[in-house]
Chain A
Amino acid sequence: MEIRIDNLTKKFGEVVGVEDLTLHIDDGEFVAFLGPSGCGKTTTLLTLAGIYKPTEGLIRFGERIVNQVQPKDRNIGMVFQSYALYPHMTVFQNIAYPLKLKKTPKNLQNESVRQVAGVMGIGDLLDRRPGQLSGGQQQRVALGRALVKEPDVLLFDEPLSNLDARLRLTMRGEIKHLQKNLGITSIYVTHDQVEAMTMADRIAVMSGGRLQAFDTPEELYDRPKTQFVAGFVGNPPMNFIDVNVSQSDGAYTAKTGSIRMTVPAARGAPAAEHAGAVVMGLRPEDIAIASEGEVAGEIFVVEPLGREDLIDVRVGEHSFILLANTESRHRAGERVALQFDMSQVQFFDPQSERSLLWRQ
């Protein structure tokens, strides 16, 4: 089912939940809504579900405008963060409830529930109550209940945030696999950019009720169109510093205080055209500690992550987050030199926070 959202605005009294959102989702696509809490992503999801009615704008499922269609008539399935299982019903009754409401014959209900339970690996739990299940099992029941009526659209509202880290990893893979197999158009709300990056075909980054970017994970990572997207996508986040970019003899240089960095012409030219200071963005993996380099600094703190160390290096008043091999065994207080790989550098307009490299 193709979903087209045009100029959607949702207000609660004076409070704006979502503002002027336009988004076209293709049939069978897996889209993630990514953003910090309060950015309007859940509001958008609930508007798509029909729980909220849009204040302005149009929502189309295929060719049908569903603005005023009741949730029960939209043929959607939804998985909630709290699972929202019905505690007074058994697992079987929980999964069968959507079918019961559709007045599906009993034998067909039975068949579908057992089939879905089999796929979800909860076939032996059908007589239990939700209270007797673990978090992961409840999650599977919730997913089974959303899938059993063969919905046109699947909605996920942070379904993995109540699970422990290990289970989250497993369920992430399972949900993605299931979605690809069934080919159901899915929308997945999350504030965890790793989940969004790993699972989604395209990510809609939202902030303050507005859509910041809507693109594939690779595009968002390599060619962020706003500073917000650049900072939100990627872990650890991108380093930002204010610099002045100037050109002399065809070579572009970014300067701030004592720091001087040579910028490739392709990226330096648009930045140099901008009058005054610009915001330069560098990802942690593009900075390395070297025995000698362009910039000297002091290690402020070392956070071991296991596979690598997260190191905060202070250069004057600036701070650079970077990742280093654990074997190098750096210590806080150590004086080091930094080497920058400027081929992936980003530049943003400090006023509009838009990218100077990638115009929309």
Chain B
Amino acid sequence: MARAELFASSKVKTDEIQPTLQEDFVEALKLAGISIVVLLVAAFFFSAVVGPFFALGSVEETVTDVLTRLALLILPYVAYISAASVARRYTFRATSRALGLAFSCAILIYALISAGHYLLDYGVFAPRPSLQMTLSQTDAGIRIDEVAPGGAAETAGMLPGDVITAIRRDPVDLAAFNKRLGQSELDAPLRLRFLRDGEEMQETARVVLVSDKELGVLLPGLAIVLVFTAIIVFLPGHWAPYIALVGLLFPLLIGYFWVIVATFSYRTKGLVPLDGNDNFGGFTLKNWESIFAGNIAGLEFNIWPILMTSMAIAVLMTFVVLLVSSMAGYALSRMDFPGRRFFLSFTLILHGFPAITLLIPIFIVLLRMGETPIIGDLIGFNTVGGIAMVMVAFQLPLGVWLMKGFFDNIPWDMERSALIDGASRFRAYWEILLPQIRPGLLALGIFAFIGGWNAYIIPATYSIGTGLSNLPVFLNELIDETAPVDWNQVAAVGLFQLIPIFIFFIFAQEYLLNIYAGGTKGSS
């Protein structure tokens, strides 16, 4: 009985809670207002507080300026998004209501922001470089239709009917002229070549900043705002993270895209492959062929020993790092011995030690070791073993700590159980504990492999003046010794170097997923 009443009243309540259009409108504007105020405060904070603070210390920086402008740039969009987010709750229940609400808010906000821009000479109404004349493109050049009285062009002596052909010695069309003008600063001199009555003349005009405040420019902006609002209203919520991610990754993806395009073309302009006549095309396999042919711009080489060197360093490093780290990690996690704490803190310090500072001392150590018979051939100067050993040493502190952490997470009972079942300590480590930390081993293995595969500074230093080189060292030789540098060729070698990493990751990914899906479940 009481329950029924409770439900009845709650039902009535939900009906009552349905807000009116007016309330929604107010809520949307309130949200937009809050976001505008927050961003304005942020912009003010960066430009008027942080900026002067840095200036006090004579620190030259552009960060505060960039942040200020960024806040002002995203301000309108954040406002539209906040207003539209209120409308989103009606998107699939009352579409017309959602759109009506979002659009009316967007138009109002746009009007407010535009009014602000108009008054403050900002945004679309910001003063632009101008010569104060109207132009049109003709076959002969750019024709001057009108010259504003008292304006920059008139001052320079330009007359309607003149046909501009070039700025200084660079021939221009209307688009190029406007681009050049747009990049000019206040008072910059532009020497114009033009034809007056068939006679070639030249005059120097000085750029002025003009804010024309034509309201017509607002219409395309409004169209963009409405489309943007509609997208926000209808965008499925779970897409948002992907859109943000793609936006952030875009510059990176472009880089990869260029590398791939470049390796298959003679030359590129931006991302567009070009042939000899600057037309789209010019695809080729020659960049790849010359890798295997062993001749790039006169530099003779054999790619296979180089590849093997890279592979040997990477594999050796992965193997030794995994073995030593997991054993040391086990000992540090499970055993108590004198100096354990010291060892732990010491390795942490070693990890923070900049490896570069040790290059010269280690160089000398390796040279001396190289003079020792047998050992010198294995891990001396100018051997794969020596390079791998140094790299392993630099990787070990991280590896040992990582492995210790993983072992710490395995319950003691697991190991005790193995010992009581009849395993020796080593067998318990090998058969019971190691399988539990497979994800950790894999992660460390990937670190070590990629570290070894991409190693440059250590292989370059400890194989100086010899024929021994791995792929990164070879890549550097390519840039150093071939003149002029064929960047498409370099891109091909770079991509060639990436292939094993790709393969490694494709397999490792499957394995990783397997581990996380079912590997160490139920270990409690």
Q: Footprint of B on A, CB under 8 Å?
A: 46, 49-51, 70-72, 74, 76-78, 80-82, 84-88, 97-98, 101-102, 129-133, 138, 145, 149, 155
A264 to chain B, nearest CB (A): 50
* B side interface size, CB within 8 A: 24
Alpha-carbon gap, A78 to B417, bound state (A):
7
Which residues of B are found within 8 Å of A71, using beta-carbon distances?
A: 416, 419-420, 422
A77, A82, A132, A155: most-surrounded residue (chain B CB, <10 A): A82
Which residues of A are found within 8 Å of B520, using beta-carbon distances?
A: 87-88
Alpha-carbon gap, A84 to B520, bound state (A):
12
Which residues of A are found within 8 Å of B20, using beta-carbon distances?
A: none
Q: From known contacts A130-B522, A131-B521, infer whether A84 and B436 are also in contact, taking CB-CB under 8 Å.
A: no
Alpha-carbon gap, A298 to B76, bound state (A):
74
Q: Which of B413, B420, B436 touches A77 (beta carbons < 8 Å)?
A: B420
Q: From known contacts A88-B435, A88-B436, A145-B421, infer whether A101 and B416 are also in contact, taking CB-CB under 8 Å.
A: no
| Nearest neighbor of B414 in chain A, beta-carbon distance | A84
Which residues of A are found within 8 Å of B519, using beta-carbon distances?
A: 87-88
Contacting pair A86 B522 (CB below 8 A): no
**What are 7 pairs between A and B in contact, CB < 8 Å?**
A72-B423, A80-B416, A82-B524, A86-B435, A102-B422, A130-B522, A138-B522
Q: From known contacts A87-B436, A101-B423, infer whether A80 and B417 are also in contact, taking CB-CB under 8 Å.
A: yes
Which residues of B are found within 8 Å of A98, using beta-carbon distances?
A: 421-422
Alpha-carbon gap, A155 to B421, bound state (A):
12
- Beyond A50-B420, A70-B424, A131-B518, 14 additional pairs, beta carbon < 8 A: A51-B416, A51-B420, A71-B422, A74-B420, A77-B420, A80-B413, A84-B413, A86-B414, A86-B417, A86-B432, A101-B427, A129-B522, A131-B521, A131-B523
Is B255's CB within 8 Å of the partner chain A?
A: no
Alpha-carbon gap, A51 to B518, bound state (A):
30
Which residues of A are found within 8 Å of B427, using beta-carbon distances?
A: 101
Chain B, 413-445, contact with A by CB distance < 8 Å: what is the 0/1 string?
110111111111001000010011010000000
Contacting pair A84 B423 (CB below 8 A): no
Is B411's CB within 8 Å of the partner chain A?
A: yes
Which residues of A are found within 8 Å of B414, using beta-carbon distances?
A: 84, 86
Q: Which of A84, A86, A87 touches B416 (beta carbons < 8 Å)?
A: A84
B411, B421, B435: most-surrounded residue (chain A CB, <10 A): B421
Which residues of B are found within 8 Å of A77, using beta-carbon distances?
A: 420
Q: Which of A72, A84, A149, A155 touches B411 (beta carbons < 8 Å)?
A: A84
Alpha-carbon gap, A129 to B427, bound state (A):
21
Alpha-carbon gap, A86 to B411, bound state (A):
11
| Nearest neighbor of B419 in chain A, beta-carbon distance | A71
Alpha-carbon gap, A77 to B422, bound state (A):
10
| Nearest neighbor of B424 in chain A, beta-carbon distance | A72
B486-524 with Cβ < 8 A to chain A: 518-524
Alpha-carbon gap, A149 to B417, bound state (A):
13
Contacting pair A72 B419 (CB below 8 A): yes
Which residues of A are found within 8 Å of B413, using beta-carbon distances?
A: 80-82, 84
Q: From known contacts A84-B411, A88-B435, infer whether A132 and B416 are also in contact, taking CB-CB under 8 Å.
A: no
Q: Footprint of A on B, CB under 8 Å?
A: 411, 413-414, 416-424, 427, 432, 435-436, 438, 518-524
Alpha-carbon gap, A132 to B520, bound state (A):
11
Which residues of A are found within 8 Å of B419, using beta-carbon distances?
A: 50-51, 70-72
Alpha-carbon gap, A81 to B524, bound state (A):
10
Contacting pair B424 A85 (CB below 8 A): no
Contacting pair B417 A72 (CB below 8 A): no
A318 to chain B, nearest CB (A): 44
A79 to chain B, nearest CB (A): 9
Contacting pair B420 A78 (CB below 8 A): yes
Alpha-carbon gap, A87 to B524, bound state (A):
9
Contacting pair A129 B521 (CB below 8 A): yes
| Nearest neighbor of A162 in chain B, beta-carbon distance | B524
Which residues of A are found within 8 Å of B438, using beta-carbon distances?
A: 88
Which residues of A are found within 8 Å of B521, using beta-carbon distances?
A: 87, 129, 131-132
Which residues of B are found within 8 Å of A70, using beta-carbon distances?
A: 419, 424
B64 to chain A, nearest CB (A): 53
A324 to chain B, nearest CB (A): 34
Contacting pair A131 B423 (CB below 8 A): no
Contacting pair B522 A72 (CB below 8 A): no
A93 to chain B, nearest CB (A): 10
Which residues of B are found within 8 Å of A130, using beta-carbon distances?
A: 522-523
A-B residue pairs, 5 tightest by C-beta: A131-B522, A131-B521, A101-B422, A84-B417, A84-B413
| Nearest neighbor of A74 in chain B, beta-carbon distance | B420
Alpha-carbon gap, A54 to B138, bound state (A):
104
Alpha-carbon gap, A102 to B436, bound state (A):
23
Which residues of A are found within 8 Å of B424, using beta-carbon distances?
A: 70, 72
Contacting pair B420 A82 (CB below 8 A): no
Which residues of A are found within 8 Å of B432, using beta-carbon distances?
A: 86
Contacting pair B522 A133 (CB below 8 A): yes
B475 to chain A, nearest CB (A): 41
A164 to chain B, nearest CB (A): 16
| Nearest neighbor of A128 in chain B, beta-carbon distance | B522
| Nearest neighbor of B421 in chain A, beta-carbon distance | A98
Which residues of B are found within 8 Å of A133, using beta-carbon distances?
A: 522
Q: Which of B411, B422, B518, B524 touches A129 (beta carbons < 8 Å)?
A: B518
B488 to chain A, nearest CB (A): 48
A186 to chain B, nearest CB (A): 14
